[in-house]
Amino acid sequence: MLGHYLLIAIRILMRNRVYAAINIGGLALALAGCVLILGYIRYEQSYDGWLKDSGRLFQVQTTIRPPGQPDVRTQGSPFPVGEQLAAGFPQVEAVTSLSAGKTVTERDGQPVFIDATTVDGNFFKVFGLPFAYGSAATALPDTNSIVLTEKEAIRQFGTTDVLGRRFTLGAGPGKRDYKVSGVLRDLPRNTSLRIGVMYRGDIADIPIERRGWGNFDQIHYVKLRAGADAAMVNAALPGWEKRVVPTGTIDGKQFSMADVFDLRLEPVTGVHLGKAQEAALTPAGDPRALVTFAVVALLTLGMAVMNFVNLTTARALQRTREVALRKVLGARRRELIAQFMAENVLIAAVAVLIAMAIAELAIPWVARAMGADMQLHYLGKDGMLLPVLALFAITGLAGGLYPALYLSRFKPAAVLNGNRGSTETAGSGRLRMALVVVQFAIAIGLVTSTAVIWSQTRFVEQVDPGFRRDGLIQIANAWRYTQGGEYDAARRAMLAIPGVTKVGRTGLGPGDSAPKMVWLARTPGASQYASLTAYNIDADFLPTMDVKLLAGRMLGDRQAADRIADETPAQLATRGINVVVNRGAATKLGYRAPQAAIGQVVDVWFNGAAKVPATIAGVVEDTRFGTARDAVDPIVYAYNPGLTNQVLVRYAAARPGEVMAALAKIWRRFEPEIPFEARFTDDVVRELYAAERARTILFASFSLLAIVISCLGLYSLAAFATERRTKEIGIRKVLGARSRDIVRLLVAQFSRPVLIANLVAWPAAWWVMRDWLNGFDARIALTPTPFLIAGGLALVIAVATVAGQAIRVARRNPIHALRYE
Amino acid sequence: MLHMRALSRTYRTDTVETTALDAIDLDIMPGEFVAIMGPSGCGKSTLLNLMGMLDSPTSGSYVFDGKEVAGLSESKLADVRKASIGFIFQSFNLVDELSVRENVELALLYHSVPAAERRRRTEDVMDRVGIAHRARHFPSQLSGGQQQRVAVARALVAEPKLILADEPTGNLDTNHGEEVMRMLQTLNAQGSTIVMVTHSPSHADYASRVVNMLDGRILQERRRAA
């Protein structure tokens, strides 16, 4: 019997090739999208799951709650955690401390950076990473040895078998030789760890003032004993903090760091997608984007399934006679349901196979676009086989059940006597139109959202940042380059490059992810401190950036109080400093107009150590150094070149490449040991939005897919509807209707669901997009334009789809139509 | 074989109630060949549909093969139908996607007949109606007469007690019509009970009894002298 069902299913599909192709093709495309998105979600969730005993590994994360400022969630934790946590919790098997940074080495005569991680002796007790050479027991016996990955070994030595070889690392006085004590197998890409070379750290090398509870510069990992419950540890952590963190007094008040932070164990597998991303070793995943993708993929699949239902029930007309006949011959309804389910499941099965082929072909492209090391594998714990079978079952059932119930319902007596019209129940046409409305609503919603997202993505890349982005180069890692008398010589050399007009220094540059320094400032008489972001700059920074002066003057060398040199905080408290603030800071301090702030003295907690009177010498325009998602910082600029580590170079009327090459040459002369890392600020800003742009493209692809699927649906629906109305059209023509009238009739009829779909889609898209735009500090206004564009586009495409059919039918000679019945 | 008493069928729409059959009494004995005649809309087809259990009566009694079937559920009716009744239609109603053999075999698919037996019976009946040489053809490749022969074969293959034919010659030219009538006559001679709706008095002459209907009632019955 099943063979008979399949036979007839295949013959029917073969007879209606266009219908079959549309139905199967639409489903396959949507399924492929689902599989790819699922693959990506799986990949993002697979981070660190491959680690040995990953279920027992946790990162100690910290939520810092600075008074009057937003919470900071960081992967770092206070220094003493490494030494004291294990003693407080019997569940802990081992704790290890890791601090990440960069070091330099020389390769082919050029300095290059290498990721460098300093760990304690417990690291390999916590992380059972596989060794290519050496072992956990013999790795890192002392601070003269290093462990490196196969990749770094090949880069440096050309081979991986480098146990015992010497490796010179560091620059300046820190430059020394290390012995390779182990070679790690390269880590897969789905890890939140970043390892190039590993040093063994020694507590004796850490200055005593850096060993306190205020130092969050290291990441701690914990391995719990088998069977231990992390939730119990987390519940006990606040009490433990109270016990072990000492209290002190500030301003005569009792104070404990334990009041400012909370520790928590985060499963190592949750780090990548977790909320704490400050100090992360690798870029974070975006769980919100994953949810969005999943929703969009399911919507698309939903559309394809609706297509399936629509086409199958629309075509039911062609099957009524068969159904009736089978009933006459004794088929029961459930046998007919089984037959049609078998047919629909067959279609779903073919679609799934094609979808898998599409997914396999598309995966390298998607992996590249999303920067993921994705693969499709079918068996195993997170194999795709089960989800694909589930998708298949859902599609087959959802798409097949209603048509099967619908088709099997026909009453044979009515059908077989040739009274065909009666088989079309009054409700079914309405249901099909309702499905078309839903489909187009989804498509219009997606297109509207794409238009909004696209405009916003373009907007943030072009939004006025308060400084001039073009013609600007940022040189990083200039912590030595910017210091001392040599800098003046370097600066003169840079200014001598043809086209270079200005050169300035700063501690934080545009697009910098380095942690910001915060100063607490208070106007006389104010009860509360305002927290301002502090920028250490030199006198040339603001002019180089082309930041507009609103009132007062820029900092310079004419007044002694402008510049902070080697004074201690106590000395500064006595003599006072001059600062420049931006508009936001002036507002936050309570000055209505920039001019009102000039000459005012505010108390500033200088680096948390002393209360320094700061005189506002100038007010400049706000600048957006971060992304458009973040609010513009209220900034206080201090002339403190000793704390700068970045050089900014402004050029005009010169070839960017030549300027860059000349800068590199000068750098090499003054800083031969550190790699030259300079970038155009335009590129830096563009990179800030790279992920945003990749997501926009993916979103746009899905919108396109959605439009294609809904048009396929509309096309075949229109085809069947016009077919069914052949006789009606014939009669209309005999009665005098012109082809034009017929086309207008059909197009108007099929435009209606699209127009209704707009009414459904617009509010939904408006609501979702408003929410999304609220995530940006700088954002476009939500105007009717994208909504009208999406609605108009859908209508035009729908009309074009239907018009082709309508014209063909309308031109037919009515004689054929009328003779046919 | 079948006994109808005061059998009625009314159709209702929102506004109108139409009585298609009005308290019919009719008995059909095994081995009879009955022709039902009457103008369009007199209720012939409704009567045939009720007889074939494709439709249920609004009121009255219908005893088929000793069992009351009025008021049975759709699936019970399907069981009785497939065991006892074969149908032949004016418009042949063959499944376009199935070959001649598959169309004939279709009637046995719902009878849980083993495949080998199914094949044998299908071959037999195709021989009987003279369509065996066209077994692999599809309906669209056959003439009207040939299609109706396939439909007859399909009606016969399950060896029903009763064959119902709804204007079996309506879509055929005179020659093919005569051919189908002769075939039905032969089947009747071999023992099949046949009830046929027809417009053609000459085709009605093949029957042993003619029932004339008008406005949902039986007007007169006429037995042909043996």
Check residue A186 and report its DSSP letter: P
Query: What does the radius of gyration of chain A's CA atoms come to, in whole angstroms?
Result: 34
Query: In angstroms, how far is CA A491 from the centroid of its own chain?
Result: 39
Give the model confidence (pLDDT) of A48-85 as tens digits: 999 999 999 999 999 988 766 778 899 999 999 998 99
Task: Give yes or no for residue A333 having a pLDDT over 50.
Answer: yes
Does the beta-carbon distance from A330 to B93 stay under 8 Å?
no
Spell out a b/e string for A447-480, using b for 16 or more CB atoms within 10 Å of the CB, else e: bbbbbbbbbbbebbbebebbbebebbbbbbbbeb
Q: Indicate the range of A169-173, A397-401, A422-426, A717-721 predicted with least confidence.
A: A422-426
Dmax over CA atoms of chain B, in Å, equals: 54
Query: In angstroms, how far is CA A86 from the centroid of its own chain?
Result: 36
Average pLDDT of the segment spanning A87-97: 94
What part of A 725-784 touches B (C-beta under 8 Å)? Answer: none
Residue A504: phi, psi to the nearest 5?
-135, 165
Q: Indicate the range of A630-644, A738-752, B139-153, B159-173 predicted with least confidence.
A: A738-752
C-alpha B99/C-alpha B79 separation (Å) is 26
Which residues of B are less than 8 Å from A324 in CB distance? 93
Average pLDDT of the segment spanning B36-52: 89
Task: Give yes or no for residue B34 having a pLDDT over 60.
Answer: yes
Instruction: Say what the alpha-carbon torsion angle A238, A242, A248, A249 is, to the nearest 10 degrees.
Output: 70
Residue with tokens 């990473």: A129
Residue with tokens 């939903």: A302
Which residues of A are less than 8 Å from B45 in CB distance? 417
Rounded percentage of chain A residues whose pLDDT exceeds 70: 95
Task: Give yes or no for residue A417 having a pLDDT over 70.
Answer: no
Tally of CB atoms within 10 A around A282:
16
Give the amino acid at A325: L
Give the model confidence (pLDDT) of B122-171 as tens digits: 999 999 888 999 999 998 899 888 888 898 898 888 888 899 998 888 88
CATH 3.40.50.300 fits B2-223, yes or no: yes
Residue A544: phi, psi to the nearest 5?
-65, -40
Measured over the CA atoms of residue A395, residue A397, residue A399 and residue A400, the dihedral's sign is: positive
Strand residues in B65-205 grouped as ranges (E): 67-68, 85-89, 162-166, 193-197
The per-residue pLDDT for A820 is 42
B160: three-class secondary structure by DSSP: coil
C-alpha A343/C-alpha A698 separation (Å) is 33
Of A670 and A462, more confident: A670
Number of H helices, E strands in chain B: 7, 10
Count CA within 13 A, CB hemisphere, residue A535: 25
Rounded percentage of chain B residues whose pLDDT exceeds 90: 34
**Which among A716, A727, A715 has a CA at the least distance from the CA of A800?**
A715
Give the amino acid at A36: L
Q: What residues are paired with B117 via a beta bridge?
A: none
Which residues of A are less than 8 Å from B106 in CB distance? 325-326, 329
The per-residue pLDDT for A425 is 52
Does the beta-carbon distance from A418 to B90 stay under 8 Å?
yes
For the record, the structure tokens of A728 come out as 């009606």
Is the predicted ipTM greater than 0.85, yes or no? no
The per-residue pLDDT for A114 is 92
Tally of CB atoms within 10 A around A197:
23
Give the model confidence (pLDDT) of A760-791 as tens digits: 999 999 999 999 899 888 899 999 999 998 89
Does the beta-carbon distance from B78 to A331 stay under 8 Å?
yes
Q: Which long-range contacts (CB under 8 A, 24 or more apart) does A688-693 make?
A: A688/A511, A688/A626, A688/A627, A689/A457, A689/A460, A689/A461, A689/A627, A691/A286, A692/A457, A692/A460, A693/A457
Confidence band, pLDDT 50/70/90 cuts, at residue A141: very high
What part of B 162-201 touches A (C-beta under 8 Å)? Answer: 166
Task: Give yes or no for residue A421 having a pLDDT over 80.
Answer: no
Check residue A162 and report its DSSP letter: -
The per-residue pLDDT for A418 is 52
Rounded to two decimals, the pTM is 0.77
Which residues of B are less than 8 Å from A327 in CB distance? 54, 78
C-alpha A146/C-alpha A168 separation (Å) is 11
Return the domain boundaries, chain B.
2-223
C-alpha B124/C-alpha B122 separation (Å) is 5
C-alpha A493/C-alpha A481 separation (Å) is 13
Q: Does A419 touch chain B (CB under 8 A)?
A: no
Query: In angstroms, how far is CA A526 from the centroid of its own chain?
Result: 41
Does the beta-carbon distance from A330 to B111 stay under 8 Å?
yes
Q: Does A335 touch chain B (CB under 8 A)?
A: yes
The per-residue pLDDT for A420 is 43
Which residues of A are less than 8 Å from B89 in CB distance? 416
The per-residue pLDDT for A652 is 92
Task: Give yes or no for residue A718 having a pLDDT over 80.
Answer: no
Average pLDDT of the segment spanning A135-155: 93
